[in-house]
Structure 1
Amino acid sequence: MLFIEYPKCSTCQKAKKFLINHGADFDDRHIVENTPIAAELKQWIERSGLPTKRFFNTSGNVYKEMNLKEKVDLLTIDEACELLSQNGMLIKRPLLITEDTVLVGFKESEYEMIIK
């Protein structure tokens, strides 16, 4: 599993603690220091089955400063991935990537299904 986080994010901290407490084997990746590239993001978005907008950190300052609320729905998947790859703080976190699943954000029930 690949766990992508921003270490100062409280939700990321909860998710990481959950993984550790459940003995999950995962690789940890800092979302800003090692921002996913556009090709990775596109693959994850497609595998997740979620709308592209779910991968945007809509409550973040960068999202608001860039006035993306009106623009994000107009972006193609390629444009969205390129934009997300330019600034890790635009990406909703944490991300948990497995062979079969891509989880965005932290919901304990979703994580429990992955850990089993």
Structure 2
Amino acid sequence: MKFICYPKCTICQKAKKWLDEKGVTYELRDIKENNPSYDELKKWYKHSGLPLKKFFNTSGLLYKSMELKNKLPNMSEDEQLKLLSTDGMLVKRPLLISNDTVLVGFKEKEYEELFK
């Protein structure tokens, strides 16, 4: 299981605490230091079943400064994935990835459901 996060993010800290309290074993990866690649993002996106927009950190400063709210609708899926792979700060976090699941963001109910 991979837990991809930005250590300074409070939501990521909550998710990490939850995983630690439940005794879940995971590989920690700092999204700012080790940005997901295009191929990883494409695989996770396809596997998640979520709309690609859910992978964007829409509340992030970089997203806002790049005015992506207006640009994304005119970009192809491939262009969006390439953009996401340029900077980890564009990616919504945390990402929790196992062989059969991709969770984007931290919703305690989703985590509980996964670890029943």
TM-score of the superposition, structure 2-length normalised?
0.97
- Distance, in Å, in 2 between the alignment partners of 1:73 and 1:46 is 19
Root-mean-square deviation over aligned CA pairs: 0.7
Ranges in structure 2 where 5+ consecutive residues have no aligned partner:
none
Residue 20 (structure 1) shift: 0.5
1:111 is aligned to 2:86: no
Deviations 1:70-104 (A, max 9, x none): 11122222111110111110000000001111101
Give TM-score scaled by structure 1 length.
Answer: 0.97
Moved over 6 A (4+): none
For 2:111 and 2:74, the matched residues in 1 are separated by: 31
User: Which digits, 9 at most, give the CA deviation of each residue in 1:42-84, with x for residues without a partner?
Assistant: 1101110110000000010000100100111222221111101
Amino acid at match of 2:75: L
What is the aligned residue count? Answer: 116
Deviation string 1:23-55 (CA, Å, 9 cap, x unpaired) is 101000000100000010011011101100000
- For residue 50 of structure 2, what is the aligned residue in structure 1? 50
What SS does structure 2 have at the residue aligned with 1:70?
helix
Partner of 1:73: 73
Aligned-residue sequence identity (percent) comes to 59
